[in-house]
C-alpha cells in the first residue's frame, strides 16, 4: 500500500517508524516530515494545515491510505475531504474532531450522556462569566473553547486571576476565535492519567495508559509545554482502573458520538484526573499525544498499520493487539528558551551513539537535515529519546544514558521524567 502520513513532529516519527515496518506498507510519504522521518519515508514539503495541498498530493500520487497525526487538519476536515475524494484515511471527521476542537461541545456531550467530568458553565459574555467566577470562588479553571496550541487553559488560584483569564479570552480576544467562547469549570484535584483507545465508530480497543510531564523544568516548575516526557504504562494504572475508564468514559463517549450521528473513528486520547470521586474527564483529544505516541508505539508488539486500517474500515472487533511486557520512558530534548523563543539551526551530534544504548530509539521532532548531512535543531521540542526497559527504572536509566550521549549544547531536558 502507498501511505501518506501527515505531520512532522516526534509523534509522526514514531508513526513513520511503526508504519514503515509494516509488511502492508510499500511506499511511505510524510508531509512535511523531519530529518528523522526522512530515514523512514519520502518527505514532501506540504505543511499539515494545507488541506488542499494534501488532498491534491494524495490524488496525484495514488495514495491508498492517509494517516493524520496532528489535530489541526482533523478539525479542519482533512479526513472528510479525503473520503469525498475516495481516499481512505485514519482519523475522525471534522464533526467528530469537535471532541478536541470544542471544549464546550465535549462538556455538553458529557452532561447529556452522563460521562464523569468537572462541573461547568459555558460563556460568550465576559460579565456573566465573571459573575459566575465570583459566585463559585477559586480555585477555578477557565478554558478557551477552541484549539489554542496548549495555551488555552488557566487553572486560576484566585478569583482575580480567573477574571483576568476571562477578560483575556472574551474581552481582549487574546485567543482569537478559539477564545470567543469559554468554559469555566470546577478545579479537580488528583493525579492525571492519559488513556488511549483506538476507535472505529462502534468498537473501542484500549491501547495503553501514559503519564506525561507538561511543565518545562524539574519538579513541575516553569511554564506549561506540549510535553517534556512521558512514561507508559502510567505508574498508577491497574487492570481495574483501565476497565473503569473504558466503561465510564471511553465506551460512553463512543456511544454518544454514534447517537449524535457523528461516529468517532481514530485515536481517542482521554486526559483524566483520578479524583476522590473516581476518574473524571479533563479533556478529549482526537489523536495520539506527543510525546506519548513515542512512548506507546515501541511497546506495541502488533502491526500498527493493520490496526489503523481496521479502525478506518470499522473492523476493530476482529482485532487483538499484543503488547510487550516492558515499560517505556520518553525524555524530550528541547531548544534552550522553549516554550518561549529559541534559536534555530544549532547542530546536534552523536545521535547514532545515543541510539546504540540497548532498547533505545531517538525520535526526531523539530530537526532538519542540512545539505552536508548535519542534523540541526529546527523547533522547540527537538528530540524524543525513548527507551524500553524491564521496568520503569530501567527504561528511565536507559533513556537518560542515551540523552547524555547526545552532543547538543543548545538543548535541555528535564532530569525527573518518570521519577
Provide the binding-site residues for ligand AMP, judged by CB under 6 A: 118, 141, 150, 153, 155, 185-188, 192, 214, 271, 282-283
Give least dist CB 11 to ligand GLY, A: 7
* Closer residue to ligand AMP in complex, CB, 137/150: 150
**Least distance CB 46 / ligand AMP (angstroms):** 27
Residue 230 Cβ, how far from ligand GLY at the closest point, in Å?
A: 7
The backbone torsions φ and ψ at residue 384, rounded to the nearest 5 degrees and listed phi first, read -130, 100
Look at residue 282 and give the partner it binds from ligand AMP, ligand GLY, none, a contact being a CB closer than 5 to 8 Å depending on partner kind.
ligand AMP
CB of 270 to ligand GLY, least distance (A): 11
Which among ligand AMP, ligand GLY, none contacts residue 290 (Cβ within 5 to 8 A by kind)?
A: ligand GLY
Identify what 136 binds: ligand AMP, ligand GLY, none; CB under 5 to 8 Å per kind.
Answer: none
Name the residue nearer to ligand AMP (CB basis): 115 or 305: 115
| 185, interface contact from ligand GLY, ligand AMP, none, CB < 5-8 Å by kind | ligand AMP
**Least CB distance from residue 15 to ligand AMP, whole Å?**
20
The yes or no reply on residue 34 touching ligand GLY (CB under 6 A) is no
Identity of the residue, 212 or 303, whose beta carbon is nearer to ligand GLY in the bound complex? 212
Give the nearest distance from C-beta 129 to ligand GLY in angstroms: 25
Q: Which of 9, 69, 101, 289 contacts ligand GLY by CB under 6 A?
A: 289
Per CB under 6 A, the segment of 244-252, 282-290, 343-351, 365-373 that binds ligand GLY is: 282-290
Burial of 235 (0-12, 13-18, 19+ CB in 10 A): middle
> For residues 191 and 347, which CB has a smaller minimum distance to ligand GLY in the complex?
191
Count of chain residues binding ligand GLY (CB under 6 A): 7
| Cβ atoms within 10 Å, residue 326 | 18
Place of cell 447517537: 259
Output 190 or 355, the one with its CB closest to ligand AMP.
190
Q: Which does 53 bind (CB under 5 to 8 A by kind): ligand GLY, ligand AMP, none?
A: none
Which conformational region is residue 7 in: left (phi greater than 0), alpha (psi within -120 to 50 degrees), or beta?
left
Residues in contact with ligand GLY, shown as a per-residue x/- string from 302 to 321 under the rule CB under 6 A: --------------------
Of these partners, ligand GLY, ligand AMP, none, which one is at the site of residue 226 (CB under 5 to 8 Å by kind)?
A: ligand GLY
Give the x-and-dash track for 222-251 against ligand GLY (CB under 6 A).
Answer: ----xx------------------------
The footprint of ligand GLY (CB under 6 A) covers 212, 226-227, 285, 289-290, 292
Amino acid at each position: 500500500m502507498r501511505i501518506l502520513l501527515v505531520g512532522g513532529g516526534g509523534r509522526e516519527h514514531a508513526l513513520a517508524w511503526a508504519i514503515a515496518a509494516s509488511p502492508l506498507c510499500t511506499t511511505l510519504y510524510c508531509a512535511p516530515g523531519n530529518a528523522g522521518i526522512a530515514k523512514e519515508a519520502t518527505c514532501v514539503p506540504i505543511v499539515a494545515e494545507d488541506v488542499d495541498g494534501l488532498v491534491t498530493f494524495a490524488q496525484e500520487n495514488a495514495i491508498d491510505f492517509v494517516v493524520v497525526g496532528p489535530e489541526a487538519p482533523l478539525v479542519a476536515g482533512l479526513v472528510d475531504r479525503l473520503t469525498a475524494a475516495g481516499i481512505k484515511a485514519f482519523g475522525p471527521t471534522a464533526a467528530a474532531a469537535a471532541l478536541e476542537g470544542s471544549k464546550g461541545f465535549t462538556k455538553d456531550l458529557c452532561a447529556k450522556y452522563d460521562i464523569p467530568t468537572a462541573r461547568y458553565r459555558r460563556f460568550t459574555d465576559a460579565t456573566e462569566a465573571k459573575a459566575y467566577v465570583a459566585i463559585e470562588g477559586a480555585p477555578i479553571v477557565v478554558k478557551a473553547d477552541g484549539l489554542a496550541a496548549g495555551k488555552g487553559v488557566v487553572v486560576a488560584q484566585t478569583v482575580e486571576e480567573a477574571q483576568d483569564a476571562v477578560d483575556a479570552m472574551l474581552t481582549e480576544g487574546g485567543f482569537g476565535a478559539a477564545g470567543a467562547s469559554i468554559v469555566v469549570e470546577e478545579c479537580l484535584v488528583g493525579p492525571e492519567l492519559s488513556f488511549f483507545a483506538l476507535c472505529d465508530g462502534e468498537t473501542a480497543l484500549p491501547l495503553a495508559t501514559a503519564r506525561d510531564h507538561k511543565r518545562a523544568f524539574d519538579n513541575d516548575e516553569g511554564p506549561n509545554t506540549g510535553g517534556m516526557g512521558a512514561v507508559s504504562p502510567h505508574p498508577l494504572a491497574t487492570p481495574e482502573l483501565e476497565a473503569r475508564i473504558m466503561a465510564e468514559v471511553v465506551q460512553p463517549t463512543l456511544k454518544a458520538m454514534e447517537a449524535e450521528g457523528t461516529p468517532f473513528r481514530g485515536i481517542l486520547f482521554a486526559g483524566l484526573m483520578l479524583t476522590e470521586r473516581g476518574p473524571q474527564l479533563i479533556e478529549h483529544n482526537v489523536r495520539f499525544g506527543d510525546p506519548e505516541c513515542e512512548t506507546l508505539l515501541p511497546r506495541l508488539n502488533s502491526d500498527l498499520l493493520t490496526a489503523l486500517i481496521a479502525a478506518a474500515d470499522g473492523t476493530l472487533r476482529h482485532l487483538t493487539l499484543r503488547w510487550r511486557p516492558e515499560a517505556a520512558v520518553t525524555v524530550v530534548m528541547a531548544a534552550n528558551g522553549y516554550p518561549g523563543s529559541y534559536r534555530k539551526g544549532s547542530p546536534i551530534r552523536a545521535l547514532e551513539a545515543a541510539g546504540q544504548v540497548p532498547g533505545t530509539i531517538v525520535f526526531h521532532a523539530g530537526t532538519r537535515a542540512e545539505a552536508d548531512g548535519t542534523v540541526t535543531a529546527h523547533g522547540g521540542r527537538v528530540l524524543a529519546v525513548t527507551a524500553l526497559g524491564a521496568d520503569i527504572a530501567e527504561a528511565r536509566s536507559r533513556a537518560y544514558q542515551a540523552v547524555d550521549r547526545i552532543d547538543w549544547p543548545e538543548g535541555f531536558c528535564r532530569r525527573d521524567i518518570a521519577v
